[in-house]
Amino acid sequence: MTPSGDYYEILGVPKNASQEQIKAAYRKAALQFHPDRNPGDKASEEHFKKASEAYSVLGDPQKRAHYDRFGTAGGGMPSGGGVPWDSEVFTDFSDLLGGLFGFSDLFGGGRRNPHRPQRGADLRFDVRLTLEDAFLGKEENVEIPREDPCAECKGSGSKTGRRLTCQTCRGHGTIAYRQGFFTVNRTCSHCGGTGEVVQDPCGTCRGRGRIRAKKSIKVRIPAGVDDGSRLRVAGEGEAGERGGPQGDLYLFISVEEHPFFKREGADLFCTVPLSFPQAALGTQVLIATLDGEVDLAVPAGAQPGQQFKIAGKGMPRIGRSGRGDLIVEAQVQSPKRLHKEEKRLYEELLKLEKDREEHGGGFFKKVFGRMA
């Protein structure tokens, strides 16, 4: 067969390209020019045919060697170009496009079994906690709407429990038809892809085999959960089909901001206000924690922003023993109003500081003394 154009140029690869490069180039071209992507576009369909023809030769080492030597594909190709329907090329391409277009059996590749058990869908439930709840852990009663197996028909959807083979798709769940030069399998609209139909539908579930219900379950939220945590409760999701297992329930945790504590991982942070005398002389401060009060010894000369650690007074660590720490930051505050006696004492203190600056080589004297 005489090639309809240079196969390497059609796929856009050099003559020394590896087999993987050739396969990747074909997949890219097939995806771009596939007729389902370009309905009614004859140019795209023609390009798709040429790319398939080129790959059927270059993708086969023996045919490629023959082509490189003689410029023809050699024997084995069907007249008019294209790729044999049972070739590995279309198996690969089916795998590529099955997920994209929503049909897994492109080009007549293997059919899925519509009768196999199907796992139920997972469910999501949002839980909002206070920081105190997250600290202690909590038992939460969760009421979830979900699909449960119909008790009347035991999930079969039929009054008698009998499901008949769909005559439209003959039990395959899909219907094959030709579109242009290739074959596509589509989900059977009569049975919805199950391959079965119910002629005597259950009056309770109307043939669905499942009913909408509300289920109340009690879940234990462990101490130490953080904002954004996700907890899985196995087997509490939607009912499966045809005897398949139930899905799972996922609890998405959000923790409210606390007015006093900030959280970083297992550590908690807070600030404590100190007056000038307390910061200068040192003091004992009563600090509230999530499980009681503790005394914090503030040393003399505490500076604004200085931090003090109270070990083991943070949040519990999930999956580990122990707790994080509580970090207390000193916030030295100046008084907004002074009584007469307080003002006199602060003025006396200021005078003493000035005397110390003048006679003791204070900060400004040291700085400007060096510059003189």
Neighbouring C-beta atoms of residue 37, cutoff 10 Å: 15
Query: Tell me, what's the pLDDT at 72?
Result: 62
Domains of the chain: 7-108 (1.10.287.110), 123-163+198-255 (2.60.260.20), 262-333 (2.60.260.20), 340-371 (no CATH)
The whole-number average pLDDT for the span 290-298 is 94
Query: Tell me, what's the pLDDT at 231?
Result: 92
CA nearest 271: which of 280, 261, 281? 261
* Cβ-based burial of 319 (10 A; exposed 0-12, middle 13-18, buried ≥19): exposed
Mean pLDDT check: name the lowest of 9-18, 43-52, 291-300, 355-364: 355-364
| Average pLDDT over the chain, rounded to an integer | 80
Higher pLDDT, 129 or 200: 129
Higher pLDDT, 2 or 136: 136
Confidence of residue 178 (pLDDT cuts 50, 70, 90): low
Query: Tell me, what's the pLDDT at 239?
Result: 82
Phi-psi region of 137 (alpha: psi -120 to 50; beta: other; left: phi over 0): left
The whole-number average pLDDT for the span 300-328 is 94
Confidence of residue 112 (pLDDT cuts 50, 70, 90): low
Query: Tell me, what's the pLDDT at 362?
Result: 52
Higher pLDDT, 96 or 329: 329
Which helix (H) or strand (E) segment is 278 a member of? Answer: helix 276-281
Query: 204-257 pLDDT, tens per residue?
Result: 888 878 888 888 889 999 999 999 999 999 989 888 876 778 889 999 999 999
